[in-house]
């Protein structure tokens, strides 16, 4: 399984993130970084640095640049605050690569579950808060259902971390008119989830370097 790791940043990518990739002992992989400070990349163990100086532009452009420059078919897209636990590559060898889009377990810094297998507004899920919405401009209910959940019409793929085949992203790139806080990941999910296979790998785990606001609730 050849892998491109594409990381977007506004400042720098920590050694902890980079080392968590290098320590996986993956036979064939590359690391692409888009954005951040030029001077930081001297002697950094990455394969390609793509400058991105206009940070006012939507970061969907950064992610599409990863697709355009990726050498391999399997691409991991991530923001600079995710790192890979030791089981990550071993878990993918066990899980396999028979998928178009894939998610694995994502944990917050405190070890709690973060945005991985996401759904929203499914009226049949056991929502414990009455009609109170959470996130999506306080109009939608964001949920973390069990990993067996498979109702694609209520699902979306969180834009902070995911995997996809290069042909998926070439056929359905991210909308470069949308940026942070504009539900660009929801819009993209609506285009791809009924068109490509989306699978959950529970054998592999990534974690955030900093505490992130969940803005979702566990449901069943």
Q: Residues 158, 179, 190, 68: what is their CA dihedral angle, to the nearest 10 degrees?
A: -90
Whose CA is closest to 141, among 214, 57, 53, 60? 214
What is d(CA 198, CA 163) in angstroms, rounded to the nearest whole number?
10
Instruction: Give the model's confidence band at 154: pLDDT under 50 very low, under 70 low, under 90 confident, else very high.
Output: confident
What's the pLDDT at 168?
A: 98
Residue with tokens 């008119």: 177
What's the pLDDT at 77?
A: 98
Whose CA is closest to 63, among 157, 165, 205, 176? 176
Question: What are the pLDDT digits (tens) for 184-203?
Answer: 888 899 899 989 999 999 99
Token couple for 152: 């694609």
Question: What are the pLDDT digits (tens) for 82-101?
Answer: 999 999 999 999 999 999 99
What's the pLDDT at 102?
A: 98
Averaged pLDDT, 148-158:
88
Question: What are the pLDDT digits (tens) for 7-24?
Answer: 999 988 999 999 999 999
Beta-carbon contacts of residue 111 (< 8 Å; ≥ 6 apart): 207
CATH 3.90.550.10 fits 3-218, yes or no: yes
| Per-domain residue ranges of the chain | 3-218
Token couple for 79: 């923001």
216 has a pLDDT exceeding 50: no
Rounded to 5 degrees, φ, ψ at 3 are: -135, 135
Q: What is the mean pLDDT of the chain?
A: 86
What's the pLDDT at 56?
A: 63
DSSP string for residues in 122-181? -TTS--TTTT--BSTTTTSBEEE--TT---GGGEE--TTEEEEEHHHHHHS---TT--TT
Query: What pTM was computed for the model?
Result: 0.89
Sheet holding 118-120, edge to edge: 155-156, 118-120, 142-144, 217-218
Question: What are the pLDDT digits (tens) for 53-76?
Answer: 776 677 799 999 999 999 999 999
């Amino acid at each position: 399984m050849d892998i491109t790791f594409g990381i977007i940043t506004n400042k720098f990518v920590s050694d902890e993130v980079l080392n968590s990739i290098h320590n996986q002992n993956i036979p064939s992989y590359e690391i692409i970084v888009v954005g951040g400070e030029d001077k930081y990349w001297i002697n950094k163990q990455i394969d390609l640095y793509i400058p991105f100086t206009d940070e006012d532009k939507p970061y969907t452009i950064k992610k599409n640049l990863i697709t355009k420059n990726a050498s391999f078919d399997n691409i991991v897209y991530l923001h600079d605050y995710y790192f890979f636990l030791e089981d990550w590559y071993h878990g993918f060898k066990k899980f396999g690569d028979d998928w178009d889009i894939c998610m694995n377990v994502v944990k917050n810094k405190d070890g709690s579950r973060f945005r991985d297998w996401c759904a929203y507004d499914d009226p049949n899920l056991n929502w414990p808060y009455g009609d109170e919405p959470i996130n999506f401009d306080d109009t939608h209910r964001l949920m973390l259902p069990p990993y067996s959940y498979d109702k694609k019409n209520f699902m979306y793929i969180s834009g902070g971390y995911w995997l996809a085949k290069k042909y998926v992203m070439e056929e359905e790139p991210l909308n470069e008119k949308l940026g942070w806080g504009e539900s660009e990941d929801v819009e993209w999910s609506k285009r791809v989830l009924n068109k490509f296979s989306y699978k959950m790998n529970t054998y592999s785990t990534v974690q955030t370097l900093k505490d992130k606001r969940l803005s979702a609730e566990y449901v069943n």
